[in-house]
Amino acid sequence: AESATRSPDLSIGVLVRRNETVGKLISLLRHHGVMASEEGGNPLTDSASVQLLLSLARIAEHPGDSVARFHVATSPIGESLKFTDHTDDAAGHRLSRVVRRSLTEVGYGSTVAGWAELLKPHCTPRERSRLAQLVELAFSYQRRATSRIEDFIRFVEYQRVADPTSAQVRVMTIHQAKGLEFDIVILPELEGRLIGQPDSFV
């Protein structure tokens, strides 16, 4: 975080030994106000706006999902969707039907684009960028769309999409760094053994 603040024009590579460390480090860096990206991109679920729209899609599949309903009802778009009381079962089922009909008849791309337009005025530039990437994913998903909206949600959760607004600091494994160059390289995992734990039979 200090290096990123002190040298905003320099690229920083944070190289770790294990894949599971990458996500933890990105989360910690963002907690300190440093936007970091994973080599090959991050799932779009690193965006609060994308998570909100996935909650809206989840209501279509599971109208009784109280967490998704609370998320949407208390969000900036709850008013526009005429859904502001997450305890209102009738309104939840009505919203579910409207969303499902739109995804089925209008298509994922156009429907998600409409949701993104409702949300844009409340977003930071980075959030708007992630929303635009979600819209692109939704259009690309249309060709493989199934009758299960949950399949679309999983598709979004597993796709890694590069975040151009957070390119200064990139976190990756040492193996992924082959052939790459950075102005500053940080190696936070030097305390462990370099050779892996051999199998017991070895």
Give residue-wise pLDDT tens across range 118-153: 999 999 887 898 899 999 999 999 999 998 999 999
Q: Give pLDDT tens digits for 11-52.
A: 999 998 877 788 788 878 888 888 887 766 678 888 899 999
> Can you spell out the DSSP letters for 2-49?
HHHHH-TTS-EEEEESSHHHHHHHHHHHHHTT--EEETT-EEGGGSHH
**Is this prediction's pTM over 0.85?**
no
**20 Cβ contact partners less than 8 Å away, ≥ 6 residues apart:** none
Tell me which amino acid residue 94 is. Answer: R
Relative to beta strand 12-16, strand 184-186 is parallel
Quickly state the pLDDT bin for 62 (edges 50, 70, 90).
very high
Which of residues 194 and 158 earns the better pLDDT score? Answer: 158
CB atoms within 10 A of CB 29: 20
